[in-house]
């Protein structure tokens, strides 16, 4: 295959990575923005989404798509409930103190990981995509007769990857509408800005925090459900999304949702492309280097308003 | 009627209020005077449930406000204009008002009344609160509190740092609220402002209530402010 078509394949891999990363990082960013909590356990919510997708898909009888659809609804819901409970019994108890929440969420990370290991086991398990179609992609070329489309052998992708990209884009748009346009979003933004004054105007900050933490976790879980047909469910799979989400949130600017999405596309695309042409390890090294540069030269991130 | 009954309040381990008792009556302006650090802001925050009240209680009619979580206090009709305004600076004027309208009030009608009171806000509904001038920010802070249709209005140094024309406007609003039967509690450092507005004056000194006197008594003997609270 020529370089052009090869790059296009890599770009699709990158777009899938970017799509899932945008969801996961948006959850982390939302939680940090509104609650000022650095959630070290965020990757475990992603992992739980994937593992629960496997469990639900196996419990629901009938065709593969039915199980998968059930998982798409149930896994984020269950993970959201779990997160709300964790907020109530752990984060609220330490009064959202920045240092203590870091330690508490590290504890949460190990509890969730080890509990999954005990209940689900160390195996990586696949979940079938709801449909299994491959799409051959055309490659445009300028010939003597102008633009012609050719179908190079091997240039194709699974329809599922395109669905993942579309679903993530839709969900990201929904999160923006929720935060920027809805009443719930207004309450979240007011709480983010000044939680004491928010209370003085009747906003139940404790409930807003529980719901924000649940929403952030559910976004990571949906990311996990969407990738599980591509990447198998495994109890240690939360590490990379956590690292990359942190990278994205720092590059985008702490607390800026727009910056988070832009940085997710940047990091996701480069991660996908570098992984295809070179190696996933090199991709992580580059992303980490980029964060170091951002922290040195633009500590507020791309869209951040104040220095972090 | 808002009744503050023998409350203590702390910041960490430092006691900021010692057994303060005070009442705010409908249709009057109660001014609170005292030096910086006397506990005036802490007293208003205690009413709002924003600082804990381990001793004493605060009641509004039959409701014991000091037993409620902070976010339920404004539902009973307490409007709060914090010191330093504390607007949601990154939200628009309209959004700041919407936050006030969420809890109580009567939606569109209340909003209309507030915007009639402060026509400048109507011109700037889509502007971010943080980009308003100081006077406009104070109008928004007061307007946001009035969105709750309060029966008790707490104002913490609302004219601090404002131009005289703005000060007049804010004072007019306080008088209008009094005329509508609202209990207005106004923390104010400047004697002439207190003399212009107050029905009664309470003096705080290092967290203790020194004295509550009718405003006429202060008009006759302005030196009482210095005697009771070291201000004026
Ligand atoms: N958040 C806080 N943390 C610690 N101490 C505080 C805090 N707020 C106020 N204080 C202290 O409580 C006392 C009363 O403060 P405050 O109520 O703000 O006084 P005032 O409004 O009369 O100037 C002061 O000694 C002040 O230093
Ligand atoms: Mg004060």
- Nearest CB among A190, A204, A206 relative to B99 is that of A190
Q: Is the residue at B88 inside a domain?
A: yes
What pLDDT, on a 0 to 100 scale, did the predictor assign at position B105?
67
- Nearest CB among A190, A199, A206 relative to B91 is that of A190
CA distance to partner chain B, nearest, from residue A296 (Å): 27
Report the 10 Å Cβ neighbour count for B25. Answer: 16
What's the gap in Å between B17 CA and the centre of ligand 1?
10
User: Helix, strand or coil for residue A147?
Assistant: strand
Would you tell me which residues 165-204 of chain A have a C-beta closer than 8 angstroms to some C-beta of chain B? Answer: 183, 186-187, 189-190, 193-194, 196-204
Q: Do A287 and A270 form a contact (C-beta atoms < 8 A)?
A: yes
Dist. CA B148–CA B154, nearest whole Å: 12
pLDDT surpasses 50 at B161: yes
Sheet hosting strand B2-11, strand order edge to edge: B14-24, B2-11, B55-60, B63-64
What confidence tens digit (pLDDT) does each residue in A68-95 have?
Answer: 999 999 999 999 999 999 999 999 999 9
- The number of the ligand 1 atom at minimal distance from the alpha carbon of B156 is 21
Contacting residues of B for A202, CB less than 8 Å apart: 71-72, 74-75, 102-104, 148
**Tally of domains in chain B:** 1
CA distance to partner chain A, nearest, from residue B89 (Å): 8
Q: Is the residue at B157 inside a domain?
A: yes
**Tally of domains in chain A:** 1
Beta strand pairing call for B55-60 and A146-150: unpaired
What confidence tens digit (pLDDT) does each residue in B8-43 have?
Answer: 999 999 999 999 999 999 999 999 999 999 999 999
Dist. CA A32–CA A244, nearest whole Å: 15
Q: What does the block give as tokens for A178? A: 């929720």
| Average per-residue pLDDT for chain B | 94
CA distance to partner chain B, nearest, from residue A199 (Å): 5
User: Helix, strand or coil for residue A204?
Assistant: coil
User: Helix, strand or coil for residue A46?
Assistant: helix
Q: Considering only A79-88, A150-159, A256-265, A274-283, which range has the smallest mean pLDDT?
A: A150-159
What confidence tens digit (pLDDT) does each residue in B198-211 have?
Answer: 999 999 999 999 99
pLDDT surpasses 70 at A182: yes
Average pLDDT over residues A181-195: 96
User: Helix, strand or coil for residue B97?
Assistant: helix
What confidence tens digit (pLDDT) does each residue in B89-100 have?
Answer: 999 999 999 999
More confident residue, A62 or B64: B64
Q: Is the residue at B7 inside a domain?
A: no
DSSP labels, A41-69: THHHHHHHHHHHHHHHHHHS-S-HHHHHH
- Nearest CB among B50, B102, B103 relative to A196 is that of B50
Beta strand pairing call for B200-205 and B29-33: parallel
Domain housing A42: 3-133+150-238
What confidence tens digit (pLDDT) does each residue in B140-151 have?
Answer: 999 999 999 999
Dist. CA A127–CA A119, nearest whole Å: 17
- Nearest CB among A183, A186, A194 relative to B86 is that of A194
pLDDT surpasses 50 at A206: yes
Task: Using CA coordinates, name the residue in chain B closest to A203.
Answer: B71
Residue of minimum CA distance from atom 5 in ligand 1: B11
User: Helix, strand or coil for residue A86?
Assistant: helix
What pLDDT, on a 0 to 100 scale, did the predictor assign at position A130?
87
What's the gap in Å between B202 CA and the centre of ligand 1?
18
Dist. CA B20–CA B42, nearest whole Å: 11
Task: Using CA coordinates, name the residue in chain A closest to B97.
Answer: A201
Beta strands in A172-233 (DSSP E): none
Q: Considering only A195-204, A228-237, B8-17, B105-114, which range has the smallest mean pLDDT?
A: B105-114
Dist. CA A68–CA A229, nearest whole Å: 10
The CATH number assigned to the domain holding B205 equals: 3.40.50.300
Judge: A193–B90 Cβ closer than 8 Å, yes or no.
yes
Residue of minimum CA distance from atom 24 in ligand 1: B37
Q: Considering only A226-240, B180-194, B213-227, which range has the smallest mean pLDDT?
A: B213-227
What pLDDT, on a 0 to 100 scale, did the predictor assign at position B227?
83
What pLDDT, on a 0 to 100 scale, did the predictor assign at position A308?
37
User: Helix, strand or coil for residue A253?
Assistant: coil
* Burial status of residue B65 (CB atoms within 10 A of its CB: 0-12, 13-18, 19 or more): buried
| Average per-residue pLDDT for chain A | 93
Contacting residues of B for A200, CB less than 8 Å apart: 48, 50, 70, 73-74, 80, 82
What pLDDT, on a 0 to 100 scale, did the predictor assign at position A149?
84
User: Helix, strand or coil for residue A3?
Assistant: helix
Q: Is the residue at A249 inside a domain?
A: no
Dist. CA B221–CA A227, nearest whole Å: 78
* Burial status of residue A142 (CB atoms within 10 A of its CB: 0-12, 13-18, 19 or more): exposed
What pLDDT, on a 0 to 100 scale, did the predictor assign at position B172?
94
Judge: B95–A187 Cβ closer than 8 Å, yes or no.
no
Considering every ligand atom shown, identify the ligand nearest to the alpha carbon of residue B230 and give its number: 1
Q: A126: closest CA among A157, A97, A160, A150?
A: A160
pLDDT surpasses 60 at A307: no
Dist. CA B177–CA B174, nearest whole Å: 5
Instruction: Provide ipTM, 2 decimals.
Output: 0.94
Cβ B40 under 6 angstroms from ligand 1:
yes
A1 pLDDT band, cuts 50/70/90, is low
Q: Is the residue at A53 inside a domain?
A: yes
Report the 10 Å Cβ neighbour count for B15. Answer: 15
What's the gap in Å between B181 CA and the centre of ligand 2?
26
Q: Is the residue at B33 inside a domain?
A: yes
Q: Is the residue at A290 inside a domain?
A: no
Q: Is the residue at B153 inside a domain?
A: yes
Q: Which helix (H) or strand (E) holds B195?
A: helix B191-197
H-helix segments, B49-162: 93-103, 108-117, 119-123, 134-146
Q: Is the residue at B12 inside a domain?
A: no
DSSP A304: -
Domain housing B98: 29-50+69-229
Its pTM stands at: 0.92
Q: What does the block give as tokens for B75? A: 């539902």
Q: Is the residue at B160 inside a domain?
A: yes
With a CB cutoff of 8 Å and minimum separation 6, the contacts of A108 are A40, A41, A44, A86, A90
Dist. CA B157–CA B219, nearest whole Å: 20
H-helix segments, chain A: 3-35, 42-59, 64-86, 98-120, 159-181, 183-193, 195-200, 205-227, 239-252, 257-277, 280-297
Residue B79 backbone dihedrals phi, psi, to 5 degrees: -100, 135
Mutation test residue for ligand 1: of B9, B11, B34, the one with most atoms within 8 Å of CB: B11
What confidence tens digit (pLDDT) does each residue in A272-297 have?
Answer: 889 888 998 998 899 889 889 988 99
Q: Is the residue at A244 inside a domain?
A: no
What's the gap in Å between B38 CA and the centre of ligand 1?
8
Residue A85 forms beta bridges with which residues? none
What's the gap in Å between B138 CA and the centre of ligand 2?
16
pLDDT surpasses 90 at B232: no
Angle at alpha carbon of residue A98, lines to A252 and A88, rounded to 5°: 105
Q: What does the block give as tokens for A219? A: 């976004």
Beta strand pairing call for A146-150 and B14-24: unpaired
Mutation test residue for ligand 1: of B9, B33, B42, the one with most atoms within 8 Å of CB: B42
User: Helix, strand or coil for residue A56?
Assistant: helix
Q: Is the residue at B8 inside a domain?
A: no
Task: Using CA coordinates, name the residue in chain B closest to A189.
Answer: B91
pLDDT surpasses 90 at A243: yes
């Amino acid at each position: 295959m020529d370089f052009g078509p090869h790059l296009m394949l890599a770009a699709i891999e990158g777009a899938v990575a970017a799509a899932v990363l945008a969801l996961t990082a948006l959850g982390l960013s939302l939680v940090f923005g509104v609650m000022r909590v650095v959630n070290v356990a965020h990757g475990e919510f992603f992992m739980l989404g994937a593992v629960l997708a496997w469990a639900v898909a196996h419990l629901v009888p009938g065709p593969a798509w039915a199980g998968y659809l059930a998982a798409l609804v149930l896994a984020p819901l269950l993970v959201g409930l779990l997160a709300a409970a964790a907020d109530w019994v752990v984060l609220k108890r330490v009064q959202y103190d920045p240092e203590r929440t870091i330690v508490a969420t590290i504890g949460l990370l190990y509890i969730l990981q080890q509990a999954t290991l005990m209940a689900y086991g160390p195996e990586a398990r696949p979940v079938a995509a709801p449909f299994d179609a491959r799409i051959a992609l055309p490659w445009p070329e300028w010939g003597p007769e102008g633009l012609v489309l050719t179908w190079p052998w091997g240039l194709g992708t699974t329809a599922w990857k395109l669905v993942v990209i579309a679903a993530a884009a839709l969900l990201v748009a929904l999160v923006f509408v929720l935060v920027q346009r809805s009443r719930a979003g207004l309450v979240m933004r007011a709480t983010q800005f000044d939680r004491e004054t928010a209370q003085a105007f009747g906003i139940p900050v404790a409930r807003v925090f529980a719901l924000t933490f649940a929403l952030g976790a559910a976004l990571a879980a949906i990311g996990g459900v969407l990738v599980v047909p591509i990447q198998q469910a495994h109890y240690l799979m939360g590490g990379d999304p956590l690292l990359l989400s942190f990278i994205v949130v720092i590059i985008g600017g702490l607390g800026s949702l727009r910056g988070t999405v832009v940085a997710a596309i940047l990091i996701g695309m480069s991660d996908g492309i570098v992984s295809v042409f070179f190696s996933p390890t090199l991709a992580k090294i580059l992303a980490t280097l980029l964060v170091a540069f951002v922290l040195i030269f633009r500590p507020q991130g791309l869209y951040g308003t104040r220095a972090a | 009627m808002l009744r503050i009954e023998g409350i203590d309040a702390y910041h960490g381990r430092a006691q900021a209020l010692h057994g303060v008792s005070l009442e705010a009556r409908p249709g009057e302006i109660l001014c609170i005077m005292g030096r910086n650090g006397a506990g005036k802001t802490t007293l208003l925050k205690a009413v709002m449930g924003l600082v804990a009240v381990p001793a004493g209680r605060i009641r509004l009619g039959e409701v014991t406000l000091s037993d409620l979580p902070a976010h339920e206090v404004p539902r009973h009709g307490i409007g709060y204009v914090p010191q330093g305004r504390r607007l949601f600076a990154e939200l628009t004027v309209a959004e700041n008002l919407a936050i006030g309208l969420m809890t109580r009030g009567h939606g569109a009608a209340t909003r209309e009344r507030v915007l009639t009171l402060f026509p400048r806000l109507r011109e700037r509904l889509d502007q971010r609160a943080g980009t308003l001038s100081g006077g406009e920010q104070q109008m928004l802070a007061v307007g946001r509190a009035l969105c709750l249709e309060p029966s008790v209005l707490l104002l913490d140094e609302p004219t601090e740092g404002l131009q005289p024309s703005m000060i007049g406007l804010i004072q007019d609003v306080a008088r209008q609220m009094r005329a509508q039967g609202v209990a207005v509690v106004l923390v104010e450092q400047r004697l002439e402002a207190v003399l212009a507005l107050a029905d009664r004056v309470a003096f705080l000194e290092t967290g203790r209530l020194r004295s509550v006197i009718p405003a006429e008594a202060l008009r006759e003997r302005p030196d009482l402010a210095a005697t009771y609270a070291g201000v004026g």
